[in-house]
Amino acid sequence: MPTTVDARGLSCPQPVIMTLNEIKNGNDKEIVVLVDTDTSRENVTRAAQSQGCRIGEVTPEGEGYRIAITKG
Amino acid sequence: MQGRNIFATRWGIIGVGAVIGILAPLLQKLGNPGNMGICVACFERDIAGALGLHRAAVVQYMRPEIIGFVIGSLIAAYLFKEYRPRVGSAPIVRFVLGVFAMIGALVFLGCPWRAVLRLAGGDGNAILGVLGLTFGIWIGTLFLKNGYNLGRTQATHAAVGWMLPLIMVGFLALMLVFPQIKDQPSSGVLFYSVKGPGAMHAPLLLALVAGLAIGFLAQRSRFCTMGAIRDTVLFGQTHLLSGFVTLVGVAFVTNLVLGQFNAGFTGQPVAHTLHVWNFAGMALAGLAFALAGGCPGRQLFLAGEGDGDAAVFVMGMIVGAGIAHNFGLASSPQGVGPHGIAAVVIGMLACLFIGFTMRKKSA
């Protein structure tokens, strides 16, 4: 099971901070980030890519998105 | 699910910065005040004046640009299925941050947008403002690193997100019902400056169209002046910064072309030369914007796409403008207001209190 970062309902820049914390400090190679706005989806994706991570599937979930990230 | 959003790319944000960099000096050419083609804080202050929330006779005008920002963003959000009504992330704190953001901005005499437009027009005092802004945002990033956040929003009724856009439509309706009458200080319930910056404005329709265009583009690109500096300081990420820097460069060139560039510190339009207070005012505003998660423009665009908390921040700024002028906190070209310095100190203390006491608990 990948680690899930639930950033739904949090405003800028919290989703990015949480994602980067997990990328840097988490043990799992696979991370799933939940966000509820398109801005957060773009920001999280951009930040993860800047850390050399690979973005897997981005699927709509509920009011927002589920972003699968694989650490590079 | 939407296709790729080209405005969210590097070239997208640069393009949007360029468009704003052209439109702002053009609006000045069309009648807006000096180095104030667009100023979110000043224009919200003018709106507060038009409504009579303060009686500073020289800064009263219902600015259509602000109305356009919100409605343009709403249109873009609906068109691209990004309208997300949400509310409930410490609204009263956002209101207070809006009040102090406005007070700080009015001590400097401009929001981040105007700070760089002043720079692009040759106003050296803006350097202190931009440095202060960066300092305030840097303090904000320290809080963010230590877990500061205002908690989660909740999804809500679509109509909750319409409130600020509807208020803006109401403002526009008031303007049409009670149009400006030449040399008259009021028309119906609205106040209109007959002299000073409030009397200087581009034609209503052009200002509204420019506002709508910027609101639309900014919603798509997530343009944010505070975020530009914050992301660079916090993550070393220069995505938003590239748009902000483009705005400055293009506005500078446009000012040169239009003959609006005038380098110097003294005699600059709607500006004072008290370096310490230019710095401190903007530091307060920058910290408040950072704690609230967006520059004053971004708060308008967020409100347009359904963020009810951003709408509360906007109302805080409008009320803050009323307080700033009624209490003598706002600066003028003659210098800071009689109580401006005290207000900056109190505002800083309030923001630090918010930053220190509101952490974690997001899980």
Residue B1 confidence (pLDDT) above 50: no
d(CA B23, CA A5): 40
**B2/A8 CB distance under 8 A:** no
Q: Does B144 touch chain A (CB under 8 A)?
A: yes
Instruction: Identify from A5, A8, A14, A34 which residue to disrupt to test chain B contact, counting B C-beta atoms within 10 A and taking the largest count.
Output: A14
Q: Which of B2, B82, B237 sits opposite A50 (nearest CB)?
A: B237
The shortest C-alpha distance from B231 to chain A (Å) reads: 8
Partner-chain contact B294 A16, CB within 8 Å? no
Q: Could you give the CA distance from residue B137 to residue B145 in angstroms, rounded to a whole number?
A: 12
Give the Cα separation of B248 and B169 in Å (integer): 31
pLDDT tens-digit readout, B101-118: 999 999 999 999 999 999
Q: Answer yes or no: is B128 within a domain.
A: yes
Residue B205 domain-assigned (yes or no): yes
Across chain B, mean pLDDT equals 97
The number of angstroms, rounded, from the C-alpha of B135 to the middle of its chain's C-alpha atoms is: 18
CB contact under 8 A, A36 and B86: yes
B84 in A contact zone (CB under 8 Å): yes
Domains in chain A with CATH codes: 12-70 (3.30.110.40)
Per-residue pLDDT, B363: 46
* Residue B233 near residue B141, CB atoms below 8 Å: yes
For residue B8, what is the nearest residue in chain A, using CA coordinates? A42
**Does residue B1 lie within any of the structural domains?**
no
pTM to 2 decimals? Answer: 0.97
Number of domains making up chain B: 1
Of B84, B230, B239, the CB nearest to A36: B84
> Does A37 contact B84 at a Cβ distance shorter than 8 Å?
yes
User: Chain A: nearest CA to B63, how far in angstroms?
Assistant: 28
Q: Are A10 and B362 inside 8 Å of each other by CB?
A: yes
* 3-class state of residue B305 by DSSP: coil
B227 in contact with A, Cβ within 8 Å:
yes
Residue B131's Cβ-count burial label (10 Å; 0-12, 13-18, 19+) is middle
Mean pLDDT of B33-39: 98
CB atoms within 10 A of CB B179: 12
Tell me which amino acid residue B309 is: D
Residue B362 within any structural domain of the chain: no
Residue A60 and residue B247 in contact, taking contact as beta carbons nearer than 8 Å: no
Residue B75 has pLDDT above 80, yes or no: yes
Please state the rounded mean pLDDT for residues B118-127.
Answer: 98
Coil, helix or strand for B271? Answer: coil
pLDDT of A1 higher than 90: no
For residue B94, the enclosing domain spans 6-357
Q: ipTM of this complex > 0.90?
A: yes
H or E stretch at A3: strand A3-6
Given a cut of 60, is residue B361 above it in pLDDT? Answer: no
CB pairs under 8 A between A and B: 61
B residues 237-296 near A, CB within 8 Å?
237, 239, 293-294
Of B8, B149, B227, nearest to A42 by CB-CB distance is B8
Residue B197 lies in a domain: yes
Q: What is the mean pLDDT of residues B53-82?
A: 98
Judged against a pLDDT cut of 90, whether residue B27 lies above it is answered with yes
Mean pLDDT of A48-65: 94
Residue B121 lies in a domain: yes
Pairing of strands A3-6, A30-35: parallel
C-alpha distance from B281 to closest chain A C-alpha (Å): 24
Does the CB of B146 have a partner CB in chain A at under 8 Å?
Answer: no
| Contact yes or no for B150 and A11 at CB 8 A | yes
Dump pLDDT digits (tens) for A11-32. Answer: 989 999 999 999 999 899 999 9
Contacts of B1 in chain A (CB under 8 A): 60
Q: A-chain residues within 8 Å CB-CB of B85?
A: none
Give the chain B residue nearest A14 (alpha carbons). B149
CA distance B257 to B64: 25
Collect all residues of chain B within an 8 Å Cβ-Cβ radius of residue A9: 86, 89, 152-154
Q: B91-108 vs B296-304: helix axis angle to the nearest 10?
A: 140
Q: What is the pLDDT of residues B178-236, one digit of tens each?
A: 999 999 999 999 999 999 999 999 999 999 999 999 999 999 999 999 999 999 999 99
Tokens of B82: 């990004």
B187: its two tokens: 């028309």
Collect all residues with Cβ–Cβ distance below 8 Å to B345 and sequence separation of at least 6: none
A36 contacts in chain B (CB < 8 Å)? 84, 86, 155
Inside any domain, residue B338: yes
User: What distance in Å separates residue A38's CA from the closest CA in chain B?
Assistant: 7
| A20/B235 Cβ within 8 A | yes
DSSP B149: -
